Chain A
């Protein structure tokens, strides 16, 4: 029931099953017409290859994101006069928004994704 315990439970994946598998696939792993067991590679080897593929995909994603750093800004700095106006600030008065967020958080079940936080509530 504790948060750490559930976290450990939830991140467990089918890879844990693969590690303990032999070269003969268990029927438990055959679902949705999966024919991957026909591969000549043993299961643990295929799991390793799959892991490497994931790492490669992640590296490619990182590279793609890094390359985005060279994107030409479509709104030039000299075109941002309106955006620099104080009335366009997403959080123009932090002292006020923190207060009103706290008022709502104490009286409503929802919380988070607001950009401010605080403890206690005095809400009984």
Chain B
């Protein structure tokens, strides 16, 4: 089953490669006149996620600057400070843990005619997980700038380590690699004077140690079938996923915007997912305030090798109980307020905004049970669900 589905992913990837080559050959000779690089801006953000026994917070700083009208450099620093006593940590019997993740990204864009070439490098560093990603993108404006076609490729290389949950030290005998490939194609299209839409397609292939080394699957205790035991998860060593997204934005006559989007996802692990999103942006007339609201709905079907409770420890070759691989839905309500300052400029600043965003997320699992209460018979526990509050506060300055 797994081999066949990986082969389907290979066909998909081959088709994407052919499409990339075709577009590259077609678009390059069309370069003429001048395109536009992203605006010069700096953003400083503080984020906080609180839900399911997990708190993650930290800063993010993004700066982008154009040079000689055809080069643009961007740099991003991002940090996660994690305190976790999630349901997975509690079921495993471990105690609350803390860790930090630091991520640095550098990007360089070169504009030639209507073509923008971009390269980027990202380095993410945790005690027990290191990830390096290099990416290349090419973007072309077409048809009087009504259409922008973007193609991209990324290559990632990760190292998975493991912390001993008793001594809280990194296990020097455990180090596993993961290799990643990503292929992307995107088109954004101006449809009318008030409507723009975009289409995105991405194929991602991973190979290596794809488990979370701290998580376990549970199986029926052979000596007492009302209880369960835990064993280290066994994942396939490859995964290929396909995602297609369609987004549109419409300008309303009284200066407001509505937007909507849909994403379809499948992968070789058997997961299928749909994401829907609708939103509304409303600048308050004659004031510096802009308000926005959106609603996001997500559903997914479980991976083929997922089960909340396996009948035995050697039931099948791959076994996982990550709740992210189960059947579930998530719903999110997003509210945001932005205040614009220095609208007519101040010293080197062209304009700026202060923004406060709040997201309320709700995750409801259909086949992942709350196994923390061991007084209940295994497999009869209530289904798990949790809510999360996500805050973002950021200042943006254009210069």
Listed residue (A9, A11, A80, A87) with the most chain B CB atoms within 10 angstroms of its CB: A87
Chain B contact residues, CB within 8 Å of chain A: 2-3, 6-11, 13-14, 22, 25-26, 29-30, 43, 45, 47, 49, 54, 56, 60, 62, 76, 78, 80, 82, 84, 86, 88-89, 99, 101, 103, 122-126, 129-133, 135, 142-146, 154, 156, 158, 179, 181-182, 184, 186, 188, 190, 192-194, 196, 198, 200-207, 212, 214-215, 236-238, 240-245, 247, 249, 251, 255-257, 263, 265, 267, 269, 271, 273, 275, 281, 283, 290, 298, 300, 303, 324-325, 330, 355, 357, 359, 363, 390, 392, 394, 396
* Chain A residue with Cβ nearest B214: A124
Query: Which residues of A (93-109) have their CB < 8 Å from a CB of B?
Result: 93-96, 98-100, 103-104, 106-109
> Which residues of B have CB within 8 Å of A100?
359, 390, 392
A85 sits at the interface (CB 8 A): yes
Query: Who on chain A is nearest to B86 by CB?
Result: A124
Some 14 contacts from A to B, beta carbons below 8 A apart, are A3-B179, A7-B13, A11-B14, A68-B143, A69-B143, A87-B281, A99-B47, A109-B265, A112-B265, A117-B122, A119-B124, A119-B129, A119-B156, A122-B99
Given A90-B247, A108-B300, A74-B76 contact (CB < 8 Å): no
Asked whether, in the complex, the Cβ of A113 is within 8 Å of the Cβ of B6, the reply is no
Check A110 against B243 for contact (C-beta < 8 Å).
yes
- For residue B92, which residue of chain A has the nearest CB? A124
Report the minimal beta-carbon distance from A31 to chain B, rounded to whole angstroms.
19
Is A61 an interface position by the 8 A CB rule? Answer: yes
A72, CB-defined interface residue at 8 Å: yes
CA distance A68 to B23 in the complex (A): 13
List A contacts of B359 (CB < 8 A). 100
Residues from chain A with Cβ under 8 Å of B130 in the complex: 119
Q: In whole angstroms, what is the CA distance A10 to B214 when docked?
A: 34
Q: Let me know if A79 is at the binding interface, CB within 8 A.
A: yes
| A75-B190, A79-B193, A100-B359 known; A62+B22 contact, CB < 8 A | yes
* Contacting pair A66 B29 (CB below 8 A): yes
Give chain A interface residues in 56-75, CB to chain B under 8 Å.
58, 61-62, 65-66, 68-69, 71-75
* Given contact pairs A68-B143, A82-B194, A83-B251, A104 touches B43 in the complex (Cβ within 8 A): no
Instruction: Tell me if B355 and A96 are in contact (CB < 8 A).
Output: yes
Q: Which of A82, A95, A110, A115 lies in contact with B251, CB distance below 8 A?
A: A82
